[in-house]
Structures are given as structure tokens and as C-alpha cells.
Amino acid sequence: MVEQGSYTLEQAIANLQQTEHLGDRYYAAWWLGKFRVTDPAAIDALLDALNDDLDRSPDGGYPLRRNAARALGKLEDPRIVPALLHCLHCPDYYVREAAAQSLELQGNPVAIPALLTFLAGGVAAAVPTPDKPHLVQPYEAILEALGTLGATVAIPEIQPFLEHPVAKVQLAAARALYQLTEAPEYGDRLIAGLAAPQLPLRRSALIDLGATHYLPAAAAIAQTPAENSLKLIALKGLLENHLTRQAQDTLHLTEESEQVMALMDSLL
């Protein structure tokens, strides 16, 4: 879908290329990703936006670069992965985080060595940034990307992060290790996260389980005290990951698939 109301592709590209109205540029970058445009001119404009120096936040960040990096993750072009790899060295934490998440979406294992360098120094180096609400690097996004990209080479580096003091980082490590090893202990670690006393942690565990095919989690997901919308998204992820791993004939529904759908029905 490219048309949305009166806003057009041409307008989005023009808005992204102009430099007078920063808000219009920010919105245009989001819009181009949201509607998954394929026009090379749109990709050109987004790649240019990754180097923008005009849009600066009070803390020195680069808001337009963040949005452009997020948008590019959803698009297809051979220039995207190299540009995102470059963004991993941006001084803005949130640009680095967006780049890692988008590299995960791109699904290209060529990103693995660059992502793996962020785990050098292990848990000891993964400390908070002074006066900021985040760690020195976007560890959650990096661990999740390594898991999705199938970086089995990273397993020894990921394992210590199960003991990181930040609970969400532990969950990200468990999710990646489950994807890389399929060992139930890591899936169970995520299920345990569903019982966390804090709602934001339960939400994280739901999203993490939705990135796996760990079917024993389905009933626990349905019973977690959290929004039904999020539980439905998690179960949909679980179901789709299960279906894509089956034999080519996805028309054949296993008993497990039907159980997941019955749980989804109960949450509507």
C-alpha cells in the first residue's frame, strides 16, 4: 500500500529531501517504512537521511537518522545492510539500537561479525551510561539480532548475558540462545519471565516468546496478566514460526497448531 489518504509517495520523498521543516522529514521517514515503499528514489532519500546533521535532539541525538534506520530495516535494497552496519558506530545510542534492530529484520548473516564485536568485554563491559536510562550499547537489540540471524558462532559470548543484572537483557539472551540451540531450558527461562512482578518485563517475555517456536509456552502466554493484544501477537509469532519450520505443506495443521489457535480464539 503506497497511497494513504492524501499523502503520496512523491510528497513523502519531497518532504524527506527538503531541510526547512524537520518534523515533516521525520514523519516522511517513518511513512516510507510503514508502507514498505519499493521506489529506489525513496531508498536514496532514506540512505541520505542516515547522514543527516540538521535534526538534533537536546541530548545530542539524531532523531531523523533513528527513523531512517528503522524504516530501512523494513525495505529491500542491497545498499541497506552496508549503510546500517555503518550506523552501528553512530555516537547516538538510539541510532545504534535502530540499526541493530533493522539488521535483524534484514535477515542477512553478513552482519554477524560486526554485531558480535559489541559483546567483546562480556557482561563486565555492559554497564549503564552515566546519567542516561540505558546501557553503553543496545545489548538487547544486539543479542536479539544475533539470535535471529542464526549466529551459532556467538553462543559462548551470549551465554554470560543470562546473568546480566538487567532482566530484559537476560531475556534477550535467553531468546537468542533458544533460537540458536532449541534447548528447552532457554524457552523455560522465557516462560519464567512471564511471571515477573513488573508488567514491562512480562511484556518483554511475551514478545521474546513470540520470536521463537517454543510451543510449550503457548498456555503460559495465554494466562499471563497482560494486554490480550500483546498475547495475541505473541501467539501469532509462535504459530507462524512453528508453521514455517514444518514440511513445505503448511496446509497440514498439527494438533499443536490447533491448540495455539484455540488459545488465540479465547483471547479475542
- Give the interface with other proteins as residue ranges (CB under 8 A): 197, 199, 225-229, 232-233, 236, 239-240, 243-244, 250-251, 253, 257-258, 261, 264-265, 268
In the complex, least distance from residue 213 CB atom to other proteins, rounded to whole angstroms: 13
* Cβ density class 221-256: b for 16+ within 10 Å, e for less: bbebebeeebbbebbebbbebbbeeeeeeeeeeeeb
Distance between CA atoms of 99 and 1, rounded to whole angstroms?
Answer: 24
Backbone angles phi, psi at 135, to 5 degrees: -80, 175
In the complex, least distance from residue 170 CB atom to other proteins, rounded to whole angstroms: 22
Distance between CA atoms of 147 and 154, rounded to whole angstroms?
Answer: 9
Give the N- to C-terminal CA distance of the chain in Å, as an integer. Answer: 26
In the complex, least distance from residue 236 CB atom to other proteins, rounded to whole angstroms: 5
Distance between CA atoms of 58 and 212, rounded to whole angstroms?
Answer: 38
Residue with smaller CB distance to other proteins, 123 or 267: 267
Cβ atoms of 49 and 16 closer than 8 Å: yes
In the complex, least distance from residue 230 CB atom to other proteins, rounded to whole angstroms: 9
Residue with smaller CB distance to other proteins, 80 or 206: 206
> Could you give the 3-state DSSP secondary structure of residue 89?
coil
Distance between CA atoms of 19 and 56, rounded to whole angstroms?
Answer: 13
Residue with smaller CB distance to other proteins, 117 or 254: 254
Residue with smaller CB distance to other proteins, 158 or 232: 232
In the complex, least distance from residue 105 CB atom to other proteins, rounded to whole angstroms: 17
Cβ atoms of 2 and 35 closer than 8 Å: yes
Distance between CA atoms of 233 and 191, rounded to whole angstroms?
Answer: 16
In the complex, least distance from residue 202 CB atom to other proteins, rounded to whole angstroms: 10
